[in-house]
Copies of this chain bind each other. A is one copy, B any other.
Amino acid sequence: MSPRSLVQASIAALALASALPAAAQFAKPEDAIKYRQSALSVMAAHFGRVGAMVNGRVPFDAAMAQQNAEIATMMSSLPWQGFGAGTEGGKAKPEIWKESAKFKELSDDMNKKMVALNAAAKTGNLDNIKTAFGAVGGSCKTCHDAYRNQ
């Protein structure tokens, strides 16, 4: 997939997320919780594989970095539809549902930075990837600090 088609896929997924109320998407709040945790977990696995190269734990392999960044980017558009009204629970702090504009801003920020990581991975340049990876990591941390129980 090109970065453009991934952006399009992200837009499509976000449109999907906002087009239906949570009740229509998930039969029970637990289903939404399981969904968002699963989507974040798959994203984290692929993001983490890029991180292993960034941190020198495994040798840099440009093709692997690209493939994993691509999957992480695709995944990054999905979790948010699992945070609909009435789906409080799991590790998510209740503030998410009180500060939905701020939560959306942070999730959009992460999406954008992940798309940038995907573009960086396509350059095949480890320094570019390191910078973009750090930006995504910072975005994850900001949101987790504010909205995730440890």
A16 to B64, CA, bound (A): 7
The SS class assigned to the A binding surface is helix
Beyond A42-B42, A78-B42, whether A67 also contacts B16 by CB under 8 A is yes
Count of A interface residues, CB-CB < 8 Å? 32
Chain B residue nearest in CB terms to A57: B27
Is the Cβ of A13 less than 8 Å from the Cβ of B67? yes
A71 to B9, CA, bound (A): 9
Residues in B whose Cβ lies below 8 Å from that of A20: 64
Is the Cβ of B1 less than 8 Å from the Cβ of A5? yes
A90 to B43, CA, bound (A): 20
Is the Cβ of B42 less than 8 Å from the Cβ of A38? yes
Interfacial residues of chain A within 108-147, with CB under 8 A of chain B in the complex: none
Beyond A13-B71, A16-B67, A64-B20, whether A49 also contacts B25 by CB under 8 A is yes
